[in-house]
Structure formats: structure tokens, C-alpha cells
């Protein structure tokens, strides 16, 4: 069950990457829900530079690695891009996620970072995210169960 823990190098890299990621969320002030809400209410458009700046870096690195890279040294994985299939769930999920983001000003990565800047009330949001993910999983399981039963009844 530990296929992806390829030793100390792997863990250290995840730690370093996570530290930089969290540090960046701190620098950008995205760990503060108020700043995200300021963007959504058109008071401060800075968030465009955060998401844009991050996507430019990943865009360049992903493209270079895919073109010139061979395999990732720590896992032997091929370098690929993040391409998920499109279906209506992408839109439905986007609407629900957007409603939650608009209400709270917080998303998963920024919520973890928010805890790091001392914002303990964010634990309510993180708890809520676990509840939401669990409810979604439960609902999916029930639906799959129901579908299986109605198929076998035919």
C-alpha cells in the first residue's frame, strides 16, 4: 500500500514543494479569505496575477518536461499533462465549487495555508470540506448501489 513512497528523496521533495507552495500562498495573501472576497467583489483584482503567475510557471515547466524530459527520476513516471475528461460533472462541480468559494472566500489549498498564518477559524471550513467530500462519496456509492440493484432486478 505504499507504492508511491519511494523513499526519503520522494518525501523530502514533497515537503520542499509543499513548503514553497504554502509560502507562496502566504506571500500572495490568498490565505486570507477577505482578499479572495475582495477579488470576487471587484475591489482588488490581484488574484488574477496569483493564478496567472502560477499557471505560467506550471505551463512552461510541464511543456518543457513533456517535450525534453524522459522519466521522472524519483518514480520513473512519464511526464504528462493534467488532462481530465470532459462531462457535465465538470460544469455541475464548478457551479457548486463556485458557490462555496463565493460564500466563504476559501478553497482547499488556501485553507491549509490559512491555518499556517494563524487563522484557526478556518478549521470550520476544512471540516466542512471533509463533510462535503464524504457526502459526495456516500451519494455516489448509494447511486452505484441502486443502479446495480435495479440492473439485477431486470
Q: Residue 71 and residue 143: Cα distance in Å, rounded? A: 39
Quick check: 5 binds another protein (CB under 8 A)?
Answer: yes
Q: Which residues inside 44-83 make contact with another protein, applying CB under 8 A? A: 44-59, 61-62, 65, 69, 71-75, 77-83
Measured from the CB atom, the residue of 11 and 147 that comes closer to another protein is 11
Distance (Å, whole) CA 153 – CA 151: 5
Q: Which is nearer to another protein, 7 or 150 (CB)?
A: 7
| Cα–chain center distance at 51 | 13
Query: According to CB under 8 A, which one of 7, 67, 68, 95 is a site residue for another protein?
Result: 95
The answer to whether 99 contacts another protein (rule: CB under 8 A) is yes
118 vs 153, which CB is nearer to another protein?
A: 118
Considering only 23, 146, 147, 148, the residue that binds another protein (CB under 8 A) is: 23
Is residue 148 close enough to count as binding another protein by CB under 8 A? no
Smallest gap, in angstroms, from Cβ of residue 79 to another protein? 6
- What are the strands, taking DSSP E only, across 2-154? none
Q: In this structure, are residues 147 and 140 in contact, taking their beta carbons and an 8 Å threshold?
A: no
* Total residues binding another protein (CB under 8 A): 121
Residues 6+ apart with CB under 8 A from 100: 132
Tell me which residue of 20, 23, 47, 22 sits closest to 33, measured CA to CA.
Answer: 47
Amino acid at each position: 500500500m505504499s507504492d508511491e513512497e519511494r523513499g526519503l528523496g520522494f518525501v523530502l521533495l514533497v515537503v520542499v514543494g509543499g513548503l514553497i507552495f504554502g509560502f507562496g500562498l502566504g506571500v500572495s495573501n490568498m490565505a486570507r479569505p477577505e482578499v479572495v472576497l475582495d477579488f470576487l467583489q471587484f475591489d482588488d483584482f490581484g488574484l488574477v496575477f496569483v493564478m496567472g503567475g502560477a499557471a505560467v510557471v506550471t505551463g512552461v515547466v510541464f511543456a518543457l518536461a513533456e517535450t525534453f524530459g524522459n522519466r521522472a527520476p524519483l518514480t520513473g513516471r512519464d511526464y504528462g499533462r493534467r488532462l481530465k475528461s470532459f462531462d457535465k460533472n465538470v460544469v455541475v462541480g464548478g457551479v457548486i465549487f463556485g458557490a462555496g468559494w463565493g460564500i466563504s472566500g476559501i478553497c482547499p489549498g488556501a485553507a491549509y495555508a490559512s491555518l499556517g498564518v494563524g487563522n484557526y477559524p478556518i478549521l470550520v471550513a476544512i471540516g466542512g470540506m471533509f463533510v462535503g467530500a464524504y457526502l459526495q462519496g456516500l451519494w455516489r456509492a448509494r447511486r452505484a448501489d441502486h443502479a446495480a440493484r435495479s440492473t439485477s432486478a431486470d
